[in-house]
Amino acid sequence: SQQGQTMLADILIKIADVVVTLFIYLVLARVLLQLCKADRYNPIAQSVVRFTDPFLGPLRKVLPKSVRWDIAGVVVLLALGVLRALVNTGFMLASVGIGPLVLFAVVGLVMTVIDLYLLLILVMVVLSFVAPGSYHPGAVLVRQLTDPLLAPIQRMLPAMGGIDLSPLVAGTALYILRDIVLPNLLA
């Protein structure tokens, strides 16, 4: 009976983690779309806005406006990051205080941004082989989201005869940041 209750609690925690993480990705997509100045008429971008508006809309009326940053989105991301940190630790972090909880949440959100960019870079590389120059709304958004990261690297790398090594350089830097630098912040 005790083992069954523990297993049920673990399952509920995993389900809560998945739901919160999926919502984090949606809100993060909205924040990044605005930050990268992606095409707001793109049907995928419009879907992200439509899904997140019920949660961000009321906050937008209260919080100050910014041209570049989606402040309501950042606030919701921080709240969701804290919620995910609490869920992932079985609410044990609630007893350590707000400082470590916020640090844990921010590091978790940065890792989520890195994971998203690693995925976007991989998708961009695959698209460059499968459908180079595609005008599909998904491909356009992937390019718009990865260009701010890859363009400075492309300018620094020497010409390689049509081969773009910027995804490899960016991916390696992101892996080092995610797997070496950030875990040491929590140690």
Over residues 10-55, the pLDDT tens digits come to 888 889 889 999 999 999 999 999 999 889 899 999 999 999 999 8
Q: Say whether pLDDT at 171 is over 70.
A: yes
Picking from 56, 61, 85, the residue whose alpha carbon sits closest to that of residue 73 is 56
Q: Say whether pLDDT at 154 is over 80.
A: yes
Tell the burial category of 169 from Cβ atoms under 10 Å away from its Cβ (0-12, 13-18, 19+): middle
- Sort residue 157 into left (φ over 0), alpha (ψ -120 to 50) or beta: beta
Q: Say whether pLDDT at 67 is over 80.
A: no
Q: How confident is the model at residue 110 (pLDDT cuts 50, 70, 90)?
A: very high
pLDDT, mean of residues 82-95: 74
d(CA 125, CA 167): 7
Q: How confident is the model at residue 128 (pLDDT cuts 50, 70, 90)?
A: confident
d(CA 175, CA 40): 30
User: What local confidence, expressed as pLDDT, does residue 90 receive?
Assistant: 66
Q: What is the mean pLDDT of the chain?
A: 87
User: What local confidence, expressed as pLDDT, does residue 147 receive?
Assistant: 93
How far CA 26 is from CA of 21, 44, 108, 112, 144, in Å, comes to 9, 11, 15, 12, 17
User: What local confidence, expressed as pLDDT, does residue 87 receive?
Assistant: 81
Residues contacting 143, CB < 8 A, separation 6+: 124
Q: Say whether pLDDT at 94 is over 70.
A: no
